[in-house]
Chain A
Amino acid sequence: QKEVEQNSGPLSVPEGAIASLNCTYSDRGSQSFFWYRQYSGKSPELIMSIYSNGDQEDGRFTAQLNKASQYVSLLIRDSQPSDSATYLCAVRGGSQGNLIFGKGTKLSVKP
């Protein structure tokens, strides 16, 4: 059974700080990793994809992948109150593209 683990939080950071969210996965053969943001009562929205070791940056967001440690992280720089949401880590689980999700980390950015 492939699993994705996340700390459920809540993670609270002050406005302007760096928020760091972490995720581990069980299947060493996994190749594709995703971070989704989910506002309360809304559907998940893809914010980052990462496929190779190292960092992938997009604006204030940086995804980091370490396949040897089976670890994925998401850094949010200059956190804003609008970043307050649940962040879901997902790993592609099979050849048909279905995703295996962690339970999500709830982030709260305090003004």
Chain B
Amino acid sequence: NAGVTQTPKFRILKIGQSMTLQCTQDMNHNYMYWYRQDPGMGLKLIYYSVGAGITDKGEVPNGYNVSRSTTEDFPLRLELAAPSQTSVYFCASKRDSYEQYFGPGTRLTVT
């Protein structure tokens, strides 16, 4: 199993551009999460999903959108990128009450 994979690893965006961060898991996990981590800070929840077709907002959803059309994939969409979205983005997944597994992260810079 590859676990949780994220692409791209790094990206530089100009202000106002859009992009999609990809997240895929091959563990048949029902729960999936997107977090962002700013320097020297803990992780903050952006969006989560409890299964295909079901998504909900976390603590910091503004400026982002998600979809969950399959169990495996949970892409995060940034519209109109802003410097405040410069961060490291982690995708995670889990099954029911078990631990969360994190992907390797995407480091995004908006200039």
A-B contact count (CB 8 A): 48
> How many residues of B are in contact with the other chain, CB < 8 A?
22
How far in angstroms is the closest Cβ of chain A from B7? 14
Task: Flag if B42 contacts A101 (CB, 8 Å).
Answer: yes
Identify which of B15-23, B66-74, B76-84, B102-110 touches chain A.
B102-110
B52 at the binding interface (Cβ < 8 Å): no
CB-CB under 8 A for A43 and B102, given A88-B43, A99-B43: yes
With a 10 A CB-CB cut-off, give which of B42, B45, B58 has the most chain A CB atoms.
Answer: B42
Task: Flag if A97 contacts B100 (CB, 8 Å).
Answer: yes
Complex Cα–Cα for A59 and B90 (A)? 28
A44 at the binding interface (Cβ < 8 Å): yes
Complex Cα–Cα for A99 and B102 (A)? 12
**CB under 8 Å from chain B, chain A span 92-107:** 93, 96-104
Task: Flag if B40 contacts A8 (CB, 8 Å).
Answer: yes
How far in angstroms is the closest Cβ of chain B from A43? 4
- Select one of A42, A45, A88, A96 contacting B48, CB under 8 A: A96
Complex Cα–Cα for A99 and B46 (A)? 11
A and B contact pairs by CB, cutoff 8 A, 13 listed: A4-B42, A8-B40, A42-B104, A42-B105, A43-B102, A43-B104, A43-B105, A44-B90, A96-B48, A98-B33, A101-B42, A103-B41, A104-B42
Known A-B contacts: A42-B105, A49-B99, A103-B41. Give 10 more (CB < 8 A).
Answer: A43-B102, A44-B90, A44-B102, A97-B94, A99-B43, A99-B45, A101-B35, A101-B42, A102-B42, A103-B42
